[in-house]
Amino acid sequence: MKRKIIRILSKKFSKPLTCLTSYSPTISKILDGNVDIILVGDSLGTTLYGMKNLKGVTIEMMKKHGLAVTNNVQKSITAIDMPYKSYTNKRQALKNAKDIIKYTKAKLLKLEINKKNMSIIKYLSEKNFNIIAHIGVTPQSYNDFKKIKAVGRTNIQRENLIRLAINAEKAGAIGVLLECITQETAKKITSSISIPTIGIGSSKYCDGQILVFDDLININKMEKTPRFVKHYLQFANLAKKAVQKYSRDVKKGKYPNKRYSYK
């Protein structure tokens, strides 16, 4: 598996990486082999549990959903998030990282990073964890997602983000996720490091892209979505029509007919 991880991440030098989130067996089976990396994201807090932010996501939530995903993935590489306040110091980070990876068997571990917790990456990397460093907009630090704005517009922000990515690589990270970072800054970050960058809202100037699967298919039929979200399917509309047709058939006595009944 280590060779497979290295081979996929080496796509920095060939074709862009494709990544999507999953929290369930059904979606995982659909994604498996069709994307390079499947992330069990802490976005499950808002997507599945209706939380206002990610601060209520727990280790146990990540473990249960993580196992449900990894048990149903054979071809893609699995990654999982460390939830809010689960890696505030080295001892806690190691304990929780071991717990999550041992339980789920996920291959990559993603942490939201700033200059204050850079040492956590180095420590976990030295313990043989495959770390993805998440920089730029880090959702775990927000109480209100409406206040999220793209970063990397100013020279200071740009320099800080580039330095953060470089230091993450030096600390042992095997990839860097860039969230809501401006095109120019994302391009400079990608050219400044030798490990892959995976973007979400960070332009085409990354070595790969990731989206939340529910956003991809517009399952929630959101009227207002982040600028970077592209809906590849209007699932909510299709599902609504299917439910309406089912209700009509039941009320009119068309379902279940003999075809759907036992003799």
Catalytically active residues are 179
Q: Which tokens is 117 given?
A: 């917790």
Number of Cβ within a 10 Å radius of residue 122: 17
Tell me which residue of 212, 175, 170 sits closest to 190, measured CA to CA: 175
Q: What is the enclosing helix (H) or strand (E) of 240?
A: helix 235-251
257/263 Cα distance (integer angstroms): 12
181/189 Cα distance (integer angstroms): 10
Alpha helices in 127-182 (DSSP H): 155-171
Q: What is the enclosing helix (H) or strand (E) of 243?
A: helix 235-251
39/81 Cα distance (integer angstroms): 8
Alpha helices in 77-154 (DSSP H): 90-104, 118-126
